[in-house]
């Protein structure tokens, strides 16, 4: 009965200045690092997911064509594998990430449960091999890939918690609705102790 932390898509292209930058994304990278500094050793497995799109095709229609993106099903080019945009944000502490998984390689994936390791092992298989029963989720974006990952985790039978202070969304209303959707399928929406850490004497400076 192991516990995993899933850090979803804290990448340069999803933070300020990136192709699909989310407001607060850079600050979130720092907050997650504060959380990891305090709690990483409480997890049996820390997984980092990343969009890792092809740069020479439309990734199954995920990248917009000449008509431009609709920001629902089609998007500007982003997180092309091996580029700076696909790299983790530099303020995210990746030293405690045990396994990287990659999604969207030629197709429009949103959920980290569609991702695979470098050797092709699907995330659900990895978690099963490690006897994980509980998955905590943080990252970007609340109303897209965090939501999809949480719903898939619940559908796969995992106990799921999303830390609402360790996620950042594109749209505030849709992000609030996403957290409600997670609750509706039996997921937990919790808060971390990061604010307490930051407010304490000698706490981390963001």
Please answer whether residues 62 and 19 qualify as being in contact, where contact means their C-beta atoms are separated by less than 8 angstroms: no
Q: For 146-163, give the secondary structure using H, E and C.
A: HHHHHHHHHHCCCEEEEE
Q: Would residue 180 show up in a list of annotated catalytic residues for this protein? A: no
pLDDT the model gives residue 203: 64
Quick one: pLDDT at residue 74?
A: 94
Neighbours of 82 (CB within 10 A): 9
Position 201 scores a pLDDT of: 75
pLDDT at 205: 55
Task: Say which of 13, 79, 145, 152 is annotated catalytic.
Answer: 145
The tokens of 26 are what? 């850079």
Residue 103 designated active-site:
yes
Q: What's the token pair of residue 152?
A: 């898939």
State residue 101's pLDDT score: 98
**pLDDT tens-place values along the chain, 206 residues long:** 899 999 999 999 999 999 999 999 999 999 999 999 999 999 999 999 999 999 999 999 999 999 899 999 999 999 999 999 999 999 999 999 999 999 999 999 999 999 999 999 999 999 999 999 999 999 999 999 999 999 999 999 999 999 999 999 999 999 999 999 999 999 999 999 999 888 887 666 55
What single string gives the DSSP state of each residue in 25-72? HHHHHHHHHHHHHHHGGG-SEEEEEEE-B-SSS-TTTTB--TT---SS
- Catalytic annotation, pick one of 13, 103, 109, 136: 103
Q: pTM value?
A: 0.94
User: Quick check: is 9 catalytic?
Assistant: yes
């Amino acid at each position: 009965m192991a516990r995993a932390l899933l850090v979803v898509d804290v990448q340069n292209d999803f933070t300020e200045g990136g192709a699909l930058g989310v407001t607060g994304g850079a600050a979130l990278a720092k907050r997650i690092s504060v959380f990891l500094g305090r709690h990483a050793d409480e997890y049996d497995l820390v997984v980092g997911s990343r969009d890792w799109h092809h740069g020479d095709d439309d990734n199954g229609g995920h990248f917009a064509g000449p008509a431009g993106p609709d920001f629902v099903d089609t998007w500007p080019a982003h997180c092309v594998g091996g580029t700076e945009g696909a790299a983790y944000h530099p303020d995210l502490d990746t030293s405690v990430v045990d396994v990287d998984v990659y999604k969207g390689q030629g197709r429009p994936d949103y959920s980290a449960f569609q991702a695979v390791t470098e050797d092709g092992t699907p995330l659900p298989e990895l978690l099963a091999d490690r006897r994980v029963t509980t998955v905590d989720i943080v990252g970007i974006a609340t109303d897209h890939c965090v939501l999809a990952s949480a719903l898939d985790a619940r559908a796969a039978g995992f106990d799921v918690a999303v830390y609402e202070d360790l996620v950042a969304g594109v749209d505030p209303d849709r992000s609030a609705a996403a957290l409600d959707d997670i609750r509706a399928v039996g997921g937990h929406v919790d808060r971390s102790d990061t604010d307490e850490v930051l407010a304490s004497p000698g706490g981390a400076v963001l």
